[in-house]
Structure 1
Amino acid sequence: MNSFWIILFHTYLNKLKSKSFIITTILTVVIVLGLTNINNIINLFDKSGGKETVAVLDETGRLYEPFKQQITAINKDIKLTNYNGSDKEAEKDVEAGDFDALIQLRFNEERLPEATYKAMSIADSSLFTDLQTGLQQLKTMQSATKINLTEAQLQKLYEPAAFEKVALEKNAKSEEELNQARGLVYILLFIIYFSVIMYANMIAMEVATEKSSRVMEILISSVSPIKQMFAKIFGIGLLSLTQLAVFLIVGYYSLTSNMESLKDGFWGVYGFGDVPIGTIVYAIVFFILGYFLYATLAAFLGSLVSRIEDVQQMITPMTLMVVAGFMIAMFGLGKPDAPFITITSFIPFFTPMIMFLRVGMLSIPIWEAMLGIAVLIGTIVGLAIFGARVYRGGVLMYGKSNSFKDIKKALQLTKNE
């Protein structure tokens, strides 16, 4: 058993100290810090302090003030200026950078407001949308005045209809609980997706690298291939937990330190504080099982190739399965109770993400979650047994080897041992 732990910690420490791991970790930490400080970064490069200036050319002489009131109610960061020059002069000021945009107000044939929006680029849809919304509200108010509607009648007309949602299913989640669960599930799905792809690929590359350097010939003479495979799986698993811990710690403290809205704590602000502890437990369970499922698959696929450049071709089908599971899960965020989602949650290679989605979003019977876990465990055990046999023969195969037909060849080598 000592040889197992030696290989496990050798794999872990070797990868931990590698330049690629250190650079990847540092770059990811920089990205996390950038995302959690995005408002500060934007303000640093935004000379206007986040405010947008718009020149208003009021051809009627009566629309500027009511239009300004509507825009102020919609977005206080939009600064309107009543422009007294001609439209050509206003356009030159926009081109010179004095204003972000120009809006020309006038009456149409029915004496209702209309406008023309001009800017250097119309790619900023948010500014245009706010201005358009303000103009629409102004037009609505003036239309109501023409038909003698009072302000109270107008408010009544646009008052949203009461529409209450009631779930008849026993123990069904409320809308607030669903929104909380959706946020948590969304984040954890990304963690599961990227972790499985990144670390499963790392295992396959590790095995292929050792084969290409002929280190494997030395190892198999002293340690059984099965011990090697599982030592590498656990070693990379330990590495993944280390890296994820760094990302989560840095991300958490950066968010709580730089965003005023997070002064009461990250989990509380985003509504995660009320998420049942069972959902968190399921997330951990499905993450670990998903990792072992794809890690085992990656290990024996990596053992079939002798050149590092062949690894990606060999593990591409595995990567596509992870991507397919993730895309189905993204669809399921909007319709978690769809029959298609229910069926695919019991397909082993999709279960880690889709069954967790259902557990987080729905109040499913506990036996369904347990069945999903049992399916995963059974698949991992079966894959481990089969994978160990392929791995035992695969590590002895050299030369051009990048076809799934090589699995049969690896199994024959195992029998001949």
Structure 2
Amino acid sequence: MNKFWTIVGHTYFSRVKSKSFIITTVITLTIIIGMANLPSIIDMFSGEDESDDVLVMDESGMYGDYLLEEGVSEGAGVSFENFEGTEEEAKEAVIDEEYDGLLVVTADEDNLPEGEYYANRISETGEQVQIEQILQQLKVMTGTQEAGIDQQTLDTIYAPVTLQTEQLDDSARTAEEMNQSRGLVYAMLFILYMTVLIYGQMIATDVATEKSSRVMELLISSAPPIMHMFAKIIGIAFLGLTQIIILLGGGYFAIQANEGSMAGEFFEVMGLTNNDPIIYVYAVVFFLLGYFLYATLAAMLGSLVSRIEDVNQLVTPMVMVIVVAFILAMMGLSMPDSTLITVTSYIPFFTPMIMFLRIGMLNIPFWEVGLSIGIMVVTIVLLAALAARVYKGGVLMYGKSGSLKDIKQAMKLSKKE
């Protein structure tokens, strides 16, 4: 057993001290901290607190006073100012950037307001959008007054309709419960997806690297290949756990530092609060099962190649499987009770993502969860037995490789040992 932990330690420390691990962790942590501070950064550069100063020329003689009333442009980021000069003088002031824009208000044939807006730069998300909304409100108000409709009647018409809902299926989750779980489901899907892609590739590459440097011959002479395979899987798991803790810890403290502008709102929107504790237990269970399933497969594939260049070619089918699972899970967020999602949740390579999706978004019977976990455990055991035989023979294979057909040759070599 000491040999097992020696290999685990060697795998872990050789990776955790590597420049690639340190650089990747620092860059990712920087991105997370940057996203946590995004509202502050946007405010710093956008100058949101400053209103756009817009000149108003009322050629209709009817609407200028309304636009200049206090509170009309409040919250729209626009500040109106009456201009008594000519239109050309007003345009010159805008060109010289003394003001941000010029609004010329006229009346159409029905005595309803319309306007022309002039600015140095016009964009789809500029202040003209807010100005258009203000004019629209003015048009509605003027039109209703002309039609003899008072404001109270108008407010009654535009008030939201009352619709009471009652759920008849007691086993179905309410919209509130689904929203509470959605954030955790998102987090689980992305973490598992990235973990399999990054650390699965790392396991396969690590095995290929040791084979290419002939270190493997020394390792298998001191410890059985099966022990070496699972020690490497555990060592990379500890490495991944270290990186996840660093990133989650950094993200947590970054969000806490911006608590006033982000933290409460973030957790509420993402639904990371008020979840049933059992969902977190399932998240850990399916994450671990998914990792060991794909990590075992990656170690087996990595043992078949003797050159690092061949790793990507051989692990591509595994990557495609996890990509398909991720796409199905993303689709399932909007239709978790569909037949496609239900059936694929029992396919072992899809189960970690899709069954957890169903657990988070639906109230499914415990036997379905137990059945999916049982199928995964059996699959991992069978895959581990196959991987152990392939790994035992694969680590002794050198020369050109990179095809799944090499599995047969590896199994033949394992019988000779």
TM-score (norm 2): 0.90
Q: CA deviation at 1:50?
A: 4.5
Q: What does residue range 113-262 of structure 1 map to in structure 2 within 5 Å?
A: 113-116=113-116, 124-125=124-125, 127=127, 129-261=129-261
Q: CA deviation at 1:219?
A: 1.2
- Greater mean deviation of Cα atoms: 203-212 or 104-113: 104-113
Deviations 1:105-128 (A, max 9, x none): 433333323345566665553755
- CA distance in 2 between counterparts of 1:405 and 1:100 reads 69
Deviations 1:308-340 (A, max 9, x none): 122222212211222221121112212222222
Is contact 2:173–2:362 with CA below 8 Å preserved after alignment?
A: yes
Q: Which position in structure 2 is the counterpart of 1:297?
A: 297
Is contact 2:53–2:80 with CA below 8 Å preserved after alignment?
A: yes
CA distance 1:150–1:29, change in 2 (3 Å): same
- CA distance in 2 between counterparts of 1:92 and 1:316 reads 62
Q: Which position in structure 1 is the counterpart of 2:277?
A: 277
Is contact 2:66–2:72 with CA below 8 Å preserved after alignment?
A: no
Q: What does residue range 240-389 of structure 1 map to in structure 2 within 5 Å?
A: 240-261=240-261, 267=267, 271-389=271-389
* Structure 2 residue matching 1:125: 3-state secondary structure: coil
Is contact 1:60–1:105 with CA below 8 Å preserved after alignment?
A: yes
Q: Which position in structure 2 is the counterpart of 1:55?
A: 54
Q: CA deviation at 1:190?
A: 1.5
Q: CA deviation at 1:350?
A: 1.4
Match of 1:376, as an amino acid? Answer: M
* Structure 2 residue matching 1:137: 3-state secondary structure: helix
CA distance 1:399–1:251, change in 2 (3 Å): same
Q: CA deviation at 1:243?
A: 0.9
CA distance 1:152–1:197, change in 2 (3 Å): same
- Greater mean deviation of Cα atoms: 279-288 or 399-408: 399-408
CA distance 1:17–1:265, change in 2 (3 Å): farther
Q: CA deviation at 1:149?
A: 1.0
CA distance 1:332–1:74, change in 2 (3 Å): farther
The structure with more radius of gyration: 2
- Greater mean deviation of Cα atoms: 21-30 or 68-77: 68-77
- Greater mean deviation of Cα atoms: 276-285 or 327-336: 327-336
- Greater mean deviation of Cα atoms: 390-399 or 151-160: 390-399
Is contact 1:56–1:105 with CA below 8 Å preserved after alignment?
A: no
Q: CA deviation at 1:38?
A: 0.8
CA distance 1:104–1:356, change in 2 (3 Å): farther
Is contact 1:70–1:138 with CA below 8 Å preserved after alignment?
A: no
* Structure 2 residue matching 1:55: 3-state secondary structure: strand
Q: Which position in structure 1 is the counterpart of 2:75?
A: 75
- CA distance in 2 between counterparts of 1:391 and 1:226 reads 7
* Structure 2 residue matching 1:166: 3-state secondary structure: coil
Is contact 1:326–1:353 with CA below 8 Å preserved after alignment?
A: yes
Q: CA deviation at 1:63?
A: 3.5
Q: Where in structure 1 are there 5+ consecutive unaligned residues?
A: none
Q: How many residues align?
A: 416
- CA distance in 2 between counterparts of 1:353 and 1:363 reads 16
Aligned-residue identity in percent? 47
- CA distance in 1 between counterparts of 2:175 and 2:68 reads 36
Q: CA deviation at 1:182?
A: 1.3
Q: CA deviation at 1:43?
A: 2.6
Q: Which position in structure 1 is the counterpart of 2:411?
A: 411
CA distance 1:226–1:121, change in 2 (3 Å): farther
- CA distance in 2 between counterparts of 1:203 and 1:184 reads 27
Q: CA deviation at 1:359?
A: 0.6
Deviations 1:133-171 (A, max 9, x none): 333333222222221111111111111111233222114
CA distance 1:309–1:173, change in 2 (3 Å): same
Q: CA deviation at 1:42?
A: 1.9
CA distance 1:84–1:396, change in 2 (3 Å): farther
Match of 2:411, as an amino acid? Answer: L
* Structure 2 residue matching 1:398: 3-state secondary structure: coil
Q: Where in structure 2 are there 5+ consecutive unaligned residues?
A: none
Q: CA deviation at 1:94?
A: 5.7
- Greater mean deviation of Cα atoms: 169-178 or 200-209: 169-178
- CA distance in 2 between counterparts of 1:374 and 1:91 reads 74
